[in-house]
Amino acid sequence: MHLYRKAIAPVGPQRGLNHAGRVDAAPFGRSEAGGPEVSAFVLDNGLDVVVVPDHRAPVATHMIWYRNGSADDPIGQSGIAHFLEHLMFKGTEKHPAGAFSKAVSSLGGQENAFTSYDYTAYFQRVARDHLSTMMSFEADRMSGLVLDDAVVAPERDVVLEERRMRVETDPSAQLSEAMAASLFVHHPYGIPIIGWMHEIEELNRTHAIDYYKRFYTPENAILVVAGDVTPDEVRRLAEDTYGRVAPQGARPLRTRPREPEPRAMRRIAVADPKVEQPTLQRLYLTPSCMTARDGEGHALELLAEVIGGGATSFLYRKLVLEMGVAVNAGAWYMGSAIDDTRFAVYAVPAEGVSLEALEEHVDRVLRRAPEALDPEAIERAKIRLVAETVYSSDSQSSLARIYGSALAIGETVEEVRAWPTEIEAVTRDRLLEVAARYLVPARSVTGYLTKACDTDVAIA
């Protein structure tokens, strides 16, 4: 998750122009957490390119990232970013529907795509000799997508069924949606990535084409190639494929409302017969890595690890091992976001313990933060965080994701390369400050997930 993202540095604003006005490849070297040397450059049409060499096997991971996600969906068209991701596989003038996927399969490769709040990405993993083929196909659908109602309507039904399967029949997903909508009362992070059911039903070809023309442009995209390649090779292939796509002149603006400062704690409860295990969840509105000030993001990341990062964390030791009131407990921080984000605490009650009683225990433990933040616990958490960034760099596809997601939200090379040093520099006093400032009731939404009788289903 956020650890993955931090392991390798994305492209920042340190590019230099040569006398011809062309952007040179910028070798950034190894990150402070280890990892391969990387290079970056920009094509004449504005496409950012990152090259991550990995010569252990003759394989390449090819990813194209667009700086748009569900938080950029127009009002009333929730889910359009995700819907368009589906439609991007419906063919172009040069390649009919299914041709791209068949090519990947015939070459023994893998492919997928995903939509998040802040970006949409498409990737393939193939033998290095087929990298040019992947670039050709992906560059073609950057500008040549062809849609008609004959493919749009059936694919909308696919997305509707996806929502039914993932949300409508899953009480925990319903709780998550309700809690996000309560935490983000004004910002689109409170709208599910897949969209609201009634708005998905109204999405059409015009919505998809308008969104496609707005965001799917070279200057709004990031190409990441990780694998058995060289920067010169990737530059040549990228110029011959993506370089032929005409730019639109400027990157589209991403205008989003700012979430107001919360003033009161909120509660959500979901009761459903399908619930097998009651759960307590809590979200706090906090800064992200992009909105944090004076290192608060690093402190929040380390705080989540200290109090809730696994079986050695403070929450787990107190609630599960010592008090026996929970069978699981932890915390996490979704730091990788453009706008203010969420810090989460969760606990699963032991047999015979009510959620109300468990919540009292959780609050009591959280109030003992000074006790949790002893020097040894902080040092162990720092070692774990930095070590995980090193381990994540061992995966080629992970490296590509690190670069793409970081650049897509606007992080700079200096910020990410300095991440291990910044984590090491977080002090106990700083952890206490962010805990006191952000882990307070007024900034929280607490959710209960409980089992109900068939005649007693409710969301309150």
Which residues are known catalytic residues?
85
Got the DSSP string for 31-92? ETTEEEEEEEEE-TTS-EEEEEE-TTSSEEEEEEEES--GGGSPTT-TTHHHHHHHHTTSBB
Residues 233, 23: Cα–Cα separation, whole Å: 16
Q: Which two tokens stand for residue 212?
A: 């496609």
How are strands ordered across the β-sheet holding 458-459?
A: 326-333, 341-349, 279-286, 444-451, 266-272, 458-459
Q: Which residue has the tokens 């950057």?
A: 142
Name the region of 431 (left: φ>0; alpha: ψ -120 to 50; beta: rest).
alpha
Is 139 strand, coil or helix? helix
Tell me how far the alpha carbon of residue 414 is from its chain's centroid. 20
DSSP state, 313? S
Q: Within 13 A of 244's CA, how many CA atoms are on the CB side? A: 13
Neighbours of 31 (CB within 10 A): 24
d(CA 114, CA 65) in angstroms, rounded, equals 10
Cα separation, 66 vs 58, whole angstroms:
27
Q: What is the DSSP letter of 246?
A: P
Rounded Cα–Cα distance for residues 37 and 318 (Å) = 43
